Structure 1
């Protein structure tokens, strides 16, 4: 799927804007809950086995799994980074770091379902392409983003301290997508964003423009009549460049720089830069564009990283510039299951224009730590992990880890931590519906991984099902769970492709005690297994293809999710 679909959505946003509040609450859930415990997610990618870290190194991507469209800002020694989340909830994940290496997950910026409610949006709608900027003139952080839900459109939220939460969304009076905000030395504000060309001036499919608005900082709104197109099409309009987007403004040595993505968020993705004497242009492209891309290399190269673009810059430790950007790590069949991830590279801005260091050669998995950073604590002391890691969740804390997320609604509406584990009270909704589901999700963060959980559950009817799901979207997913047929209990594996479901395998089981469920992927091959004694596992359905969990097959802009799932509206009926 191309980004054309989301751009098309920007012209019909009303179709996706729900007006009601989330109807799924604890009051209308089933009285037959499922209890999950002893979750273990383990990554096992060869790239990390073959490239162990030295003492002064760290891995990129810095955020593995579906964390695309990164934006970053800095106040003093504190760095904050946000990413897209689409219909996942809460919206706009945010991370904090003191050194650009070790990151802490702060949850989601948009965490009030009464203000951001993606309850009726497809998984690739919701909210995406955020910007985050610290304004030193009023000591305030701004997060600006496009939201395809609740009639919001482009919105901005503010805070004095991202650790303490954010204010309510403020609707902004302009269209388009991918907004970011910039504050000049004199405190004046500007917003730049992607938009369609003026009516009647679209020259070809994928022709887009970058606009700038003056921003009223006191009243938090764009100033009517100040909008201006500052880039038409891209670096060279005569070459029909496509999807100029994700703009960011910077100021250095008295000049203004506009950095954008160009080429679409796929194999032709790149980052380009322009320069001007004014934030309102005219902007002249650098002669060295692109400054970051992976599009020039053989498609069948080993250890392939690709799709690099949609970047943002920040001055890091020692006043050295760094850039964060999205990229992918496809599996051995060149499929993208883990989604678009957040990568990092140092940036050389010793000349007139910035250039991503080693951003025009095949990307490598390791970087040298910034100057003065002495310890890589990723995966330790509460810092977010990367590389190959094991995440164990016993649900012993009343506060769920932020990496557990809901889909189209808050996880608190269906999940409760109990003495026995995590209790999911099933909604009368299946994962094939465009509604909030009673599913606690964890992102797939590796091409090769295992995910296992113990489930204590006794279905009362054929409408009851609980287990695990591997999901790319509502029309492409696997369900591996326990249900009922007559008086007997069964475990089944169901594959849904293009919205058509088929039970691959099923078997009758005797649930005398909790069941252990496991999915294990080795690249494109996924295997689902169960154990009735916690030790010996039985495969169900053989090795199945992960094709439907890739964006290549399923489309969209998210990565695969692995969920603890329960429903009282099961439609996987055994014959």
Structure 2
């Protein structure tokens, strides 16, 4: 969907009204204090008492692609226009996850739902991209930590959401959106023959409120003599009741496919539920032999956080089918046993001793030379200016998964340069505060607006607070010992996909524009 800047200005009102739909659930839903807290006070799933509370991984972690590799689990997500992208996360117990590093460093387009696989000792990631033209690429590596190969274009221009599968005869396939598939070569690096249609997905009643049919995200699993195919239908966003999980099975990778009698297996049915638009599921076996489904969903009233990763317990039934047993996922669930827990997540605060691109920081829609703009030097991130404003400066961004948080940074600009802190959806919808040596510039609705006088010159400390979409800015000229509030507040509940499109999230970050280099020190993040 494309909107004008004038339409974008109404987004906050639209988002605020829609957010009110979820207020009736507030009393029954987990409060902020119900989550355990990890790095920078960020919420984490593991409650420490043998239970966990979704989200499994908070913030924009959509279209999870999960791989069980012996005692290790790896997962990655759609990373869209953020690069380095396709960050690999690692777990040993299925509940606690840490980022390892990015697998994709070359900007090949907006990365959608990928397939992460291991076949005959080699790792593969099949990557669909929205570009000109759209296509599906593959990269491969002998180690999960790389180095990963250069992207190979499979020239599949009409499909998204590939899923690698191996048949009972050893043949390799990519299952695609719309119930289609294509054969892969033995090495998995090219296609053989033409795309063929092999499955007609289950249809929901036409009285249901959905975004559209949109069969996508097929995931193939072999278990107990059957191939199971999980598919998402109903549209990824739009009405919260649209996105859902359906399943089918076959004795052969070649079909025919039998619809699950319980379809849909997962679907948000009420606006009062904690998780909206739940879908795009994969099955995975835990260390204790139990089975689980990992999928994504929007948190009630928090479209700005993007689609977050969720974990739902699975029960196999006597007839060879399975069902999800976690209900609406609003309550704690008993964890699977076994596996060694790693500290979950990562600190978003940064002293810039190293430059953590990929696992922590990502450029938005970078040019081929974007990484050369950034370096660390004597405890500072030194970022060369690009463009004139966030719209064309390729800002450096983080993924934050809490409804409320604050972040601050010491910023020093070069003569004639501009820099600042942002809440950034995309290059047409963002807000924040920047400054040059004489004036501030406010960013709102993806536009540059007021320019009041700056009494601090080329060096100051800036803090941004986001309390459930209410934004405040504070400034300090003495390194954060005393603060003054900047006279501009904002409301950003409408800065999300259902207003702007693009499937992204509102991300905290920083930017540098104009001539010279900006220096950022002591970046501090804290969930509230």
Name the TM-score class by shorter chain.
Answer: 0.7 to 0.9
Report the 3-state secondary structure (helix = DSSP H, G, I; strand = E; otherwise coil) of the residue aligned with 1:223: strand
Which of 425, 436, 440 lines up with 2:396 in the alignment? 440
Match of 1:72 in 2: 66
- Structure 1 residue 89, shift from structure 2 partner: 0.2
Match of 2:487 in 1: 541
Match of 1:479 in 2: 432
Q: Which runs of 4+ in 1 moved over 4 A?
A: 236-241, 398-401
Match of 1:340 in 2: 307
Match of 1:205 in 2: none
Alignment of 1:120-519 (within 5 A): 126-135=110-119, 138-149=120-131, 153-174=135-156, 175-194=158-177, 209-218=178-187, 220-225=189-194, 227-232=195-200, 234-235=202-203, 242-266=213-237, 267=240, 268-294=242-268, 296-297=269-270, 299-301=271-273, 304-330=274-300, 334-351=301-318, 352-358=320-326, 361-364=327-330, 366-373=332-339, 375=341, 377-379=342-344, 384-385=345-346, 391-397=348-354, 399=356, 402-409=359-366, 412-433=371-392, 437-458=393-414, 460-461=415-416, 464-484=417-437, 489-497=438-446, 500-503=447-450, 506-511=452-457, 514-519=459-464
CA distance in 1, matches of 2:35, 2:83: 34
Report the 3-state secondary structure (helix = DSSP H, G, I; strand = E; otherwise coil) of the residue aligned with 1:370: coil
- Structure 1 residue 517, shift from structure 2 partner: 0.7
Q: Which has the higher contact order (CA 8 A, sep 6+)?
A: 1
- Structure 1 residue 243, shift from structure 2 partner: 0.8
- Structure 1 residue 430, shift from structure 2 partner: 2.9
1:192/1:76 CA distance change after superposition, 3 Å: same
Unaligned stretches of 5+ in structure 2?
3-28, 37-46, 517-528
Match of 1:49 in 2: 33
Give the alignment's TM-score, normalised by structure 1. 0.76
CA deviations over 1:82-107 (Å, ceiling 9, x no partner): 10011110122211222212222122
Q: Does the 8 Å CA contact 2:83/2:358 hold for their aligned counterparts?
A: no
Superposition CA RMSD, Å: 2.7
CA deviations over 1:386-424 (Å, ceiling 9, x no partner): xxxx63211123555721111122762211101041111
CA distance in 1, matches of 2:282, 2:388: 39
Q: Does the 8 Å CA contact 2:84/2:357 hold for their aligned counterparts?
A: no
Match of 1:198 in 2: none
Match of 1:16 in 2: none
Q: Does the 8 Å CA contact 1:455/1:467 hold for their aligned counterparts?
A: yes
- Structure 1 residue 56, shift from structure 2 partner: 1.6
Q: Does the 8 Å CA contact 1:492/1:507 hold for their aligned counterparts?
A: no
Number of matched residues? 469
Unaligned stretches of 5+ in structure 1?
3-44, 119-125, 195-208, 571-575
CA distance in 2, matches of 1:340, 1:569: 37
1:569/1:344 CA distance change after superposition, 3 Å: farther
For structure 1, which segment, 239-248 or 281-290, has the greater mean C-alpha deviation from structure 2 after superposition?
239-248
Report the 3-state secondary structure (helix = DSSP H, G, I; strand = E; otherwise coil) of the residue aligned with 1:164: coil
CA distance in 1, matches of 2:424, 2:496: 9
CA deviations over 1:246-270 (Å, ceiling 9, x no partner): 0011222222211100111122111
CA distance in 1, matches of 2:456, 2:256: 72
Give the alignment's TM-score, normalised by structure 2. 0.82
Report the 3-state secondary structure (helix = DSSP H, G, I; strand = E; otherwise coil) of the residue aligned with 2:288: helix
Q: Does the 8 Å CA contact 2:172/2:188 hold for their aligned counterparts?
A: no
- Structure 1 residue 150, shift from structure 2 partner: 6.8
Q: Does the 8 Å CA contact 1:425/1:438 hold for their aligned counterparts?
A: no
CA distance in 2, matches of 1:163, 1:565: 29
Match of 1:6 in 2: none
CA distance in 1, matches of 2:325, 2:307: 21
- Structure 1 residue 46, shift from structure 2 partner: 7.4
1:223/1:328 CA distance change after superposition, 3 Å: same
Report the 3-state secondary structure (helix = DSSP H, G, I; strand = E; otherwise coil) of the residue aligned with 1:547: coil
1:309/1:431 CA distance change after superposition, 3 Å: same
Report the 3-state secondary structure (helix = DSSP H, G, I; strand = E; otherwise coil) of the residue aligned with 2:352: coil
1:95 correspondence with 2:93:
no
Alignment of 1:111-126 (within 5 A): 111=105, 113=106, 116-118=107-109, 126=110
- Structure 1 residue 356, shift from structure 2 partner: 1.9
Q: Does the 8 Å CA contact 2:30/2:330 hold for their aligned counterparts?
A: no
- Structure 1 residue 551, shift from structure 2 partner: 2.5
1:171/1:492 CA distance change after superposition, 3 Å: closer
1:509/1:139 CA distance change after superposition, 3 Å: same
